[in-house]
Structures are given as C-alpha cells and as structure tokens.
C-alpha cells in the first residue's frame, strides 16, 4: 500500500503492517468523534510515526497513485473532520471498521 503524508511524501507499507495502521486509524476516528483534540493529536502523531517507521520512502519521481492520504503533522482537527465528511471511511480506505 502506498501512503502519502501530506506535505511530506509517500511511503510503501507492507501488508503485514496494515492491521497496526488500521488500529491507529480507528483510535484516531474515536478521538475525532469525541472531539478530543489532545487524544486526536497524540493518535495522529502515532499514526504518522508508524507509517514513517514501517514504510519505505517512495522515490520522489514516482508518479503512481496513493492508496491512502494522511494529513500533515500540522493539520487541525477541523481540517480532518472536513476530509472525513467527504471521504467518509476513515483515513486508511477500506480498512476502517
């Protein structure tokens, strides 16, 4: 799976790590649903950190699509709410429960 972090770049994440990303995505959605900005910030940082940790950076000249697009570190909770209102299925498509 190719995951883009807004403003940072793309990472190729092996399928064996998708359950972990899915769990973090679920936690992030729960923090969003409860409007808990501090929990949301910690979970977003954990999700982005997990992608950086297990992902392999994709070459800058790669022109293929991303399977998931995550917000940048500086994104606000309201910006992510807006994305989810239009996307509707979590930040990691097809994995949100």
For the entire predicted model, the pTM comes to 0.84
Three-class DSSP category at 96:
coil
Mean pLDDT along residues 85-92 = 58
Cα 77 to Cα 52, 58, 67, 74, distances in angstroms: 21, 27, 22, 10
User: Where residue 91 falls among pLDDT bands split at 50, 70, 90?
Assistant: low
Give 15-49 pLDDT, tens digit per residue: 999 999 999 988 988 988 898 989 999 999 999 99
């Amino acid at each position: 799976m190719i995951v883009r972090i807004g403003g940072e770049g793309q990472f190729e994440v092996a399928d064996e790590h998708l359950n972990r990303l899915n769990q973090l995505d679920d936690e992030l959605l729960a923090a969003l649903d409860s409007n808990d900005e501090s929990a949301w910030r910690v979970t977003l940082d954990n999700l982005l950190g997990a992608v950086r940790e297990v992902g392999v950076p994709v070459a800058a000249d790669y022109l293929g699509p991303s399977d998931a697009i995550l917000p940048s570190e500086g994104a606000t909770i309201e910006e992510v709410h807006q994305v989810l209102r239009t996307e509707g299925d979590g930040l990691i498509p097809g994995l949100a429960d």
